[in-house]
Structure 1
């Protein structure tokens, strides 16, 4: 089978903080509060399904079993826990997400087969005044933080910033964080679904009951003073040049503003992921082309070789370091 860019049908997730904004990308989403679209997913809790080409109808897990050793690249075929190593999501934050933290790969209480979770966010849109929490204030110690949790003043310990379209956040494991109401975000992360909640605004979940908190696990994994989260503005990215947003041991993410045909290539080491953020254009390769619109996510096999991005569009590119 000749390699080609794979497009997926997302697996949508109901969340108490979700809304209906993912409909804006042209997807038919379930009724109710939909917070997450798992766009490129190969996890026990959610799998995306191929919508195009010879692999149409297969889940990413089936693609991995069939072609992963060849198409995912030398690094991609052996990374992570045997599944596809990354997870790409679109998040509609119609309400505040819980204040939370994710463990690293070495945390002893991880569920069997589960990875830690380092992630990054790119803000696709933000309502005026929307905020994002991305770490603790400088100098906060574990004992000070524990006291704040017990005294219900946890938010006083956080660094937050008003979010704007084009903002980028790198959130390593061990970072206390929360997306605020009014942001629409693309997320690239390790293939993990482990979240420890510290605070949930005393609200009920979708079942009417308070959602579980994980205080002890959270305190065990928080990187007090050394989590390493970063925040950057990106709207001045130069046309047809990659701007690095995040470089972690698990992924590299770059932003590209396409204004003229841009000839690129995959490498034998890793697959490439593309997320269309804004504008419109096309993705062309030796054997075909695909239209690109906001919300589209593509997996380019490592064996694809040359491809061209054209039109007037903003894209994110991710690959394994």
Structure 2
């Protein structure tokens, strides 16, 4: 029987009209073109990642879910809705502005068959001077006034713009209008969903030279006009060896920690743990071995791994199921 060990996956890289080449800085061999997304840990029809290294080398996340089950993934580690791994972990290189968009909740009747809603959060890994994002509607915007603004090509007047710096975090519940903008590199922890409704895309052509599809009616239907509980915070003031909670949702809990030396930790039987290495380098050691880690890497720690130690000098983002 395979003993549990930290799993790293070969990312699925996605070309996007707004992408660039920034993910190369993490040492990944990314394909040619404008690469906007690295799906780092994924179990979705549009992208599934496979293990790099160890006894399970080459096996895909959906295979592991089927064969290893709740011992490895935790008693809460499989989606009750569609049977898949419940989270999707991405790195996003925003060389240009993303479309203005919104995601539905799980109960939206317009969802594709078998698809979930999409609540997500961002941790900003890097941001160029003056970088910003779109984060919510201005106060007082209603469905009617937003629909009129869209008809008049004035939607940008109704949106909140927020400056961003490395270390900022943004919790984005389903129903929150948002868009990453040029010059931002982020880690994204989200529900395992690929459903996005676009409100506006700057009248630009897609990769095929044609305008990308907009989803105005679905967007207007799912927007939370009174707010959905979106929150943001700065995370600079954090000492080594303690966890700062960045986001708490029905779908994930996300925390930030700084490793300086050795930090003894443990997984829980209820949930796998995901570690995104935001910066720095070091290693993960456990009862049966040790693996190096560095910025841009993502690891899935099985629920039955038990005690492990983070060593070195690095910043990590930890996610698990509530």
Q: 2:71·2:269 contact (CA, 8 Å) conserved in 1?
A: no
Superposed counterparts of 1:204-215, under 5 Å: 204-215=205-216
Give deviations 1:286-311, integer Å, cap 9, x for gaps: 10111110111000000000011111
Q: 1:42·1:48 contact (CA, 8 Å) conserved in 2?
A: yes
Which stretches in structure 1 are left out of the alignment for 5+ residues? none
Q: 2:132·2:161 contact (CA, 8 Å) conserved in 1?
A: yes
Q: 2:124·2:165 contact (CA, 8 Å) conserved in 1?
A: yes
Superposed counterparts of 1:1-321, under 5 Å: 1-321=2-322
Give deviations 1:68-97, integer Å, cap 9, x for gaps: 232110011354420100000000000000
Q: 2:21·2:35 contact (CA, 8 Å) conserved in 1?
A: yes
CA RMSD after TM alignment: 0.8
Q: 2:73·2:271 contact (CA, 8 Å) conserved in 1?
A: yes
Q: 1:199·1:213 contact (CA, 8 Å) conserved in 2?
A: yes
Structure 1 position 226, deviation (Å)? 2.3
Structure 1 position 133, deviation (Å)? 1.0
Q: Could you tell which deviates more after superposition, 169-178 or 146-155?
A: 146-155
Q: Could you tell which deviates more after superposition, 174-183 or 59-68?
A: 59-68
Residue aligned with 2:146, SS: helix
Give deviations 1:171-209, integer Å, cap 9, x for gaps: 000000000000000000000000000000000000000
Which stretches in structure 2 are left out of the alignment for 5+ residues? none
Q: TM-score, normalised by structure 1?
A: 0.99
Q: 1:240·1:257 contact (CA, 8 Å) conserved in 2?
A: yes
Residue aligned with 2:261, SS: coil
Whole-angstrom distance in 2 between the partners of 1:75 and 1:123? 28
Q: 1:240·1:260 contact (CA, 8 Å) conserved in 2?
A: no
Equivalent residue pairs, number? 321
Q: TM-score, normalised by structure 2?
A: 0.98
